[in-house]
Amino acid sequence: MKTLLVLLLSFLFWGYSFPQDVTIKSLKAYSGKETDLPVLSGGQSLSIEFDVQSDYEPFLTVIFRFCDRNWKPTNNIFLLNQGGYTAYDLEFYTLPATVTDARYHIKGAFPDADGFVSFPFSGKWSYYITDSQDTSKVYANGKFFVVFNDVNLNTTIKNALLEDETFFPTDLAKVFNITSVLNLPEEFFPGYVDHLEIIENHKIEYPVIVDRNFNTNRRQYYWDGNRNFTFTARDIRPGNEYRQTDLRNFNKFGQREAKAQFDGLEYSRFFKQGREDLNGGFILTKFQDDYATYIDVTFSIRPPNSGFKNVYLVGSFNDWQVLPEYKMNDDYGVFKKTITLKRGIYDYQYVTADVVNNSLKNIDWYSLEGNGYETVNQYYLFLYYKDPNFGGYDRIIGYQKILNRSKWKN
């Protein structure tokens, strides 16, 4: 009887994974160049890789969802592609024993070779890394674009000045004017052309929108009544090249604790042009490397005066989001923040904001960093169309990536 009970219990638990204590670290998604915004066009695939801290071999699933223009996953049954948006049996590797804070590395490319994952619709997509046994348990998530480029965007960019208000310092008046002109192909109906979205480098959460329903002095839309459209944004500040920390040198950063800059304290760069950056991306030390471990990195800045009350650390390590948890601590005029990072190269900057009713308002990307025409940025332009097919969805019908000028070094 005892033997029968053991066999029965073994049968019940066979193939079952007990709940996992999992932490996802160093999540990266890219297509083509790893430092670019993840945009799939021309048959490209999406690469996703990350480290995992877990006591046991992780059993994870990636679920993909098509989204509307506001990144809300759709519930439209025609867009759910049942069975075609889930990736199982992810490839994983055991990290070197010298790596702290993580035990495994996982990566995959999608659409996958087995045909379980496909992206049949052009637009915004989200992915969710979940527990294989309980997909409602989401450990991490990210965003990417899928583009079927049906419309050519003829985009120009030029230097200009904002003239509708007074700025001090006057450098804050410097802007780029970005204009996209297009001729709509016959298969599209002009009334469904919706808006143009411009994303600077990796700032997905802070897009510039030129909407056909709202013309202002700074955002302008024109339609000739036939098939020609013009979208113009006249208020895009160039900013400065991002600050950068390079943590790959083990001899230079050999301890668990490190300073983002070897010299320690940083200052305003409003009147100092930065060096060439990664346009908001990051490059990690290869996961097989014995030194591809995690260290505690302290960022420190002394603003030029006491007028700066709320300073936030923003960078490629938090998807360029200004978040309360990245607020820097004021230590007698020196603002500090320590975060844990895997060895690699990261772009970052310091941002100020006001706290109003527990929300961040008046986000200022420029007062501590500067604003100059010499800055090189990548701009990703997406033309959206309110497609009536499949119950209606936000479709990207035009896409273009541009640089405002050639790369340079100082």
Report the candidate in 193, 227, 186 with the shortest Cα–Cα distance to residue 212: 193
* Residue 388 pLDDT: 97
Tokens of 152: 């050519």
**Could you tell me what percent of the chain has a pLDDT over 70?**
93
Assigned domain for 89 exists: yes
Asked if residue 57 has pLDDT above 70, the reply is yes
- Residue 399 and residue 39 in contact, taking contact as beta carbons nearer than 8 Å: yes
pLDDT band at 20 (very low <50, low <70, confident <90, very high): low
Tokens of 223: 């339609």
Contact residues for 303 (Cβ-Cβ < 8 A; gap 6+): 268, 311, 333, 335, 368
**Which CATH number is 230's domain given?**
2.60.40
pLDDT band at 16 (very low <50, low <70, confident <90, very high): very low
- Residue 338 and residue 297 in contact, taking contact as beta carbons nearer than 8 Å: yes
* Residue 43 pLDDT: 82
**Could you tell me what percent of the chain has a pLDDT over 90?**
77
Tokens of 182: 């297009």
Domain ends where: 132, 147, 162?
147
**26/136 same-domain check:** yes
Contact residues for 21 (Cβ-Cβ < 8 A; gap 6+): 54, 55
Give the residue numbers spanning the domain of 332.
243-364
**235/272 same-domain check:** no
C-alpha 214/C-alpha 311 separation (Å) is: 32
**Which CATH number is 52's domain given?**
2.60.40.1930
Assigned domain for 9 exists: no
C-alpha 37/C-alpha 338 separation (Å) is: 26
**223/318 same-domain check:** no
Average pLDDT of the chain is: 91
Q: In this predicted model, what pLDDT tens digit does every residue of 117-138 receive, in sequence order?
A: 999 999 999 999 999 989 999 9
Asked if residue 115 has pLDDT above 90, the reply is no
Write the DSSP string, 381-406: EEEEEEE-GGG-EEEEEEEEEEESS-
**27/142 same-domain check:** yes
**35/137 same-domain check:** yes
- Identity at 331, one-letter amino acid code: D
- The sheet carrying 91-94 orders its strands as 23-30, 46-53, 104-110, 91-94
Question: pTM for the whole thing?
Answer: 0.92
Assigned domain for 46 exists: yes
Domain total of the chain? 3
* Residue 81 pLDDT: 72
Which phi and psi angles does 301 have, rounded to 5°? -140, 140
**24/143 same-domain check:** yes
DSSP state of 73: B
Assigned domain for 95 exists: yes
Domain ends where: 147, 179, 202?
147
Paired residues of 299 in beta bridges:
337
Tokens 């346009």 correspond to: 279
**160/99 same-domain check:** no
- Residue 79 and residue 151 in contact, taking contact as beta carbons nearer than 8 Å: no
**248/353 same-domain check:** yes
Contact residues for 22 (Cβ-Cβ < 8 A; gap 6+): 52, 53, 54, 58, 60, 131, 139
* Residue 14 pLDDT: 39
* Residue 212 pLDDT: 93
DSSP, collapsed to helix, strand or coil, labels residue 52 as strand
Q: In this predicted model, what pLDDT tens digit does every residue of 304-341 receive, in sequence order?
A: 987 788 999 999 999 999 999 999 999 999 999 999 99
**141/24 same-domain check:** yes
Assigned domain for 7 exists: no
C-alpha angle 73-326-377 in degrees, rounded to nearest 5? 70
Paired residues of 284 in beta bridges:
344
**208/196 same-domain check:** yes
* Residue 30 pLDDT: 96
